[in-house]
Amino acid sequence: MNQKLEQKVKETLSKIKLDKKSKILVALSGGKDSAVTVYLLHKFGYHLEAIHIDLKMGKYSKNCLDAVEKLCNNLGIKLNIYDIRKEMGNSMCNIRLSVQSEKSLKNCAICGVIKKWILNKEARKLRARYIATGHHLDDETQTFLLNILKGSPELNANSGVITKNIGDKKFIPRIKPLFYIPESEIKKYAITHKFPVIYEKCPCAIDSYRIQIREFMKKLSRKQKENLIKNSEKFLTKIKKEKKEIKYCEICGEPARNKVCKMCELLRK
Ligand code: SF4
Ligand SMILES: [Zn+2]
């Protein structure tokens, strides 16, 4: 089982032809998915650094930080810590509350936009060529379905093992080595290897729509999930033909699809 998982990840990585000299910045959350990602990239000999965004969400964040420190120490990988309170002046909970009082958005939607913005900026600062995340088959099928059900299939255009349709020097492509691996197999792998990770769920992960989709997906077999992803890839090659022009946000200077990036759009009152 473990060997099969490793083989599948190797095949995924060879598909995107990563070279072993370019620096990959692995985003570590403290959970099993990103731990398996960094472990395998390290095992396969890639040039790595790790980053952890300390969201300052009380005991949960403290446990996440302890876990990533232990993991990086065990693997001998340099860990960069982004302290959100020091860098942005507040904890993620408070940043979210101030956004939510103005706009009706889900916790994870806000947190996700902010984390993506931080990762891109930090990866550039650290001269990384790629950002690797722990997204897996279940995450990807969930997002794919969610976008279709919300009536925004075009949002799936950036999905894939590597973000493709954004060719801009300020944008660091994101790779997902576990793209074809179901969550259950990742969990077994992490347990077998006794990785120092936390298995508790984020206390702020409250998104009823995503939870509904997750429940529905529990009824799907691995084959059905793989089919969904395979078909989505066929469908996406059509959308990806039109590369969208990238602008720079007029507030923060980061790459954006509009005049103002999503992150600045969230934070402005
Ligand atoms: S589960 Fe949601 S709120 Fe919690 S860290 Fe992830 S994106 Fe943020
Ligand atoms: Zn901006």
The closest-lying atom of ligand 1 relative to the alpha carbon of residue 203 is 4
**Which of 28, 63, 143, 202 best tests ligand 1's pocket when mutated (most atoms within 8 Å of CB)?**
202
pLDDT tens for each residue of 233-256: 777 666 655 556 778 999 999 999
Cα 32 to middle of ligand 1, angstroms: 15
For 33-84, what is each residue's pLDDT tens digit?
Answer: 999 999 999 999 999 999 999 999 999 999 999 999 999 999 999 999 999 9
How far is the C-alpha of 48 from the C-alpha of 116, rounded, in Å? 19
Ligand 1 near 155 CB (within 6 A): no
DSSP string covering 99-133: HHTTS---HHHHHHHHHHHHHHHHHHHTT-SEEE-
Quote the mean pLDDT of the chain. Answer: 89
Torsion of CA 81, 202, 98, 126, to 10 degrees: 20
Ligand with the closest atom to the CA of 118: 2
Q: What is the number of the ligand closest to the CA of 33?
A: 1
Q: 144 versus 236: which is more confidently predicted?
A: 144
Q: Which pLDDT value is given to residue 234?
A: 73
Q: What are phi and psi for residue 162, nearest 5 degrees?
A: -140, 140
Model pLDDT for residues 173-226, shown as the tens digit of each residue: 999 999 999 999 999 999 999 999 999 988 888 766 777 888 888 888 888 888
Least confident residue range of 134-143, 199-208, 252-261: 199-208
Q: Is 112 in the pocket of ligand 1 (CB under 6 A)?
A: yes
For residues 131 and 242, the model is more confident at: 131
Contacting residues for 23 by C-beta, under 8 A, at least 6 apart? 47, 48, 49, 126, 127, 128, 129, 130
Confidence (pLDDT) at 206: 73
Extract the tokens encoding 63. Answer: 């446990």
The alpha carbon of 251 and the centre of ligand 2 are apart by a number of angstroms equal to: 5
Confidence of residue 106 (pLDDT cuts 50, 70, 90): confident
Share of the chain above pLDDT 70, in %: 93
Token readout for 33 is 């998915």
Please state, in angstroms and as integers, the Cα–Cα distance from residue 265 to each residue in 35, 118, 166, 180, 256, following that order.
32, 15, 20, 33, 11
